[in-house]
């Protein structure tokens, strides 16, 4: 249980009624999951408006309501805070409730139209093989230690996300690799998190339309947010929209690429065949120098593996260790992993 006065410091609000001294037992934006003395945050979605369920939340025992407009018919004993954006408030309150667990983890966020899942698994497996206890959050699953939890969203809602970070800490994780979707950025699910590393794989014309993004400009703006909320950004130099991607970024930038001059480059990329396996091989050059084999054909495999190598190098994993600890070719969650070939 926490006092609302300690949580409200993270948000801008107007007090419609009630007291900030309310003792609360948790936070939710789902009226069906409200428990006695909970904070219920009213979220406006594409199909439903949480403000409609404010009275139901009170009937279930909510002690505090957070809304984007003043609410009528709420008992005086219930505290009501009015905020500009309830999604932003939900993210900040969730961070405060869990005491900002992400601050105690090395956080790696991966975004992009294509390659998020593959790249996230690559980074995760490299860290594990290097002896680092890491968690994973993504489209397919969340991994904490040996436990796998099927995913409902690529990037969970803030309440769930912060609880996962806390569980990872309790299980001894020091790093977390997570996919950051454009919808998550649009809906402020990652607000309150400063990523140590942000990986931007590429940008395309997907996810535009009803229920997603109104335009490509909005989509790109949401994707680019990661480069304003991370300390080091790892960006695909080959992307034709590279200048737009890095515009307004506030982080230190590291680049990777196959065609354009970058910090991490692939030289002599070629289709590579072995018994039962068709892939690509190349040599990393620039800020690193060693041969790599990826057991998936295509230039995208070179790009995804370069991104993983670049971020692991930024974390201080030596080239020799990366060569020794790259994951063996295996199917993980439906994603074919890659391995580094020492010659």
Q: At what angle do helices 116-129 and 299-314 cross, to 10 degrees?
A: 50
Confidence (pLDDT) at 210 = 63
Same structural domain for residues 72 and 136?
no
Reading the chain (343 residues) residue by residue, the pLDDT tens digits are 999 999 999 999 999 999 999 999 999 999 999 999 999 999 998 889 999 999 999 999 999 999 999 999 999 999 999 999 999 999 999 999 999 999 999 999 999 999 999 999 999 999 998 999 999 999 999 999 999 999 999 999 999 999 999 999 999 999 999 999 999 999 999 999 999 999 999 999 876 766 678 899 999 999 999 999 999 999 999 999 999 999 999 999 999 998 889 999 999 888 877 777 788 888 999 999 998 888 888 889 999 999 999 999 999 997 876 776 444 333 333 333 344 443 3
180 within domain boundaries? yes
Same structural domain for residues 7 and 39?
yes
Please, what is the Cα angle at 223 between 10 and 238, to 5 degrees?
145
Helix (H), strand (E) counts: the chain: 10, 20
216 within domain boundaries? yes
Q: Distance between CA 98 and CA 110 in Å, rounded?
A: 23
The torsion angles phi and psi of 4, rounded to 5 degrees, stand at -60, -25
- Domain end residue (candidates: 97, 114, 143): 97
Beta-bridged to residue 106, according to DSSP, are 175
Q: Distance between CA 4 and CA 25 in Å, rounded?
A: 10
Looking at the 3D structure of the chain, how many domains does it have? 2
Q: Of 177, 169, 102, 173, give the one whose Cα is nearest residue 139.
A: 177
Residue 69: which residues within 8 A CB-CB, separation 6 or more?
51, 82
Half-sphere exposure of 134 (CA within 13 A, CB side): 23
| Largest CA-CA distance found in the chain, in angstroms, rounded | 73
Same structural domain for residues 127 and 228?
yes
Residue with tokens 């454009």: 182
CB 25 within 8 A of CB 38: yes
Residue 15: which residues within 8 A CB-CB, separation 6 or more?
79, 80, 81, 82
Same structural domain for residues 137 and 222?
yes
341 within domain boundaries? no
Q: Distance between CA 146 and CA 123 in Å, rounded?
A: 17
Same structural domain for residues 65 and 113?
no
Alpha carbon separation from 177 to 79, 117, 333 (Å, rounded): 37, 10, 15
343 within domain boundaries? no
Same structural domain for residues 243 and 263?
yes
**Number of residues that this document lists for the chain:** 343
DSSP tag of 35: -
- Domain end residue (candidates: 97, 113, 131): 97
DSSP tag of 284: E
Q: Of 300, 197, 298, 311, give the one whose Cα is nearest residue 264.
A: 311
Same structural domain for residues 220 and 297?
yes
Same structural domain for residues 151 and 288?
yes
Half-sphere exposure of 203 (CA within 13 A, CB side): 23
342 within domain boundaries? no
CB 142 within 8 A of CB 136: yes
Q: Of 91, 59, 63, 92, give the one whose Cα is nearest residue 77.
A: 63
Q: Distance between CA 61 and CA 260 in Å, rounded?
A: 58
Same structural domain for residues 89 and 134?
no
What is the value of pTM for the model shown? Answer: 0.91
Same structural domain for residues 61 and 107?
no
Same structural domain for residues 154 and 275?
yes
Task: State the CATH number of the domain containing residue 320.
Answer: 3.40.1190.10
DSSP string, 155-193: S--HHHHHHHHHHHHHTT--EEEEE--HHHHHTTTTTT-
Residue 26: exposure state from Cβ atoms within 10 A (0-12, 13-18, ≥19): middle
112 within domain boundaries? yes
Structure tokens at 148: 């796998």
* Domain boundaries, position 77: 2-97
Confidence (pLDDT) at 205 = 81
Same structural domain for residues 252 and 120?
yes
Neighbours of 286 (CB within 10 A): 18
- Domain end residue (candidates: 97, 114, 137): 97
Q: Of 163, 170, 162, 208, give the one whose Cα is nearest residue 188.
A: 162
Q: Distance between CA 122 and CA 118 in Å, rounded?
A: 6
Structure tokens at 300: 């995208």
């Amino acid at each position: 249980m926490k006092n609302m006065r300690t949580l409200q410091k993270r948000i801008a609000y107007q007090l419609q009624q009630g007291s900030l001294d309310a003792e609360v037992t948790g936070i939710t934006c789902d009226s069906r999951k409200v428990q006695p003395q909970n904070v219920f945050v009213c979220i406006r979605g594409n199909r439903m408006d949480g403000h409609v369920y404010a009275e139901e939340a009170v009937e279930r025992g909510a002690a505090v309501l957070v809304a984007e407009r003043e609410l009528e018919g709420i008992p005086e004993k219930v505290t009501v805070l009015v905020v500009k954006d309830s999604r932003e408030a939900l993210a900040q309150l969730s961070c405060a409730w869990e005491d900002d667990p992400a601050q105690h983890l090395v956080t790696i966020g991966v975004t992009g139209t294509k390659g998020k899942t593959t790249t996230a698994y690559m980074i995760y497996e490299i860290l594990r093989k290097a002896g680092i206890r890491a968690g994973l959050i993504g489209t397919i699953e969340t991994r904490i230690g040996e436990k796998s939890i099927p995913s409902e969203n690529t990037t969970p809602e803030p309440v769930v996300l912060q609880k996962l970070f806390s569980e990872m800490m309790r299980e001894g994780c020091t790093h977390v690799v997570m996919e950051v979707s454009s919808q998550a950025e649009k809906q402020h699910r990652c607000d309150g998190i400063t990523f140590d590393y942000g990986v931007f794989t590429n940008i395309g014309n997907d996810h535009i339309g009803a229920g997603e993004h109104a335009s490509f400009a909005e989509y790109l703006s949401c994707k680019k947010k990661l480069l304003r909320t991370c300390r080091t950004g790892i960006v695909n130099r080959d992307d034709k929209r590279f200048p737009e991607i890095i515009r307004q970024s506030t982080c230190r930038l590291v680049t990777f690429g196959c065609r354009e001059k970058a910090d991490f480059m692939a030289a002599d990329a070629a289709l590579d065949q072995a018994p039962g396996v068709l892939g690509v091989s190349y040599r990393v050059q620039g800020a690193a120098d060693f041969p790599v084999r990826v057991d998936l054909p295509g230039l995208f495999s070179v790009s995804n593996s370069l991104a993983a190598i670049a971020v692991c190098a930024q974390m201080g994993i030596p080239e020799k260790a990366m060569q020794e600890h790259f994951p063996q070719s295996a199917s993980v969650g439906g994603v074919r992993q890659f391995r580094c070939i020492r010659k």
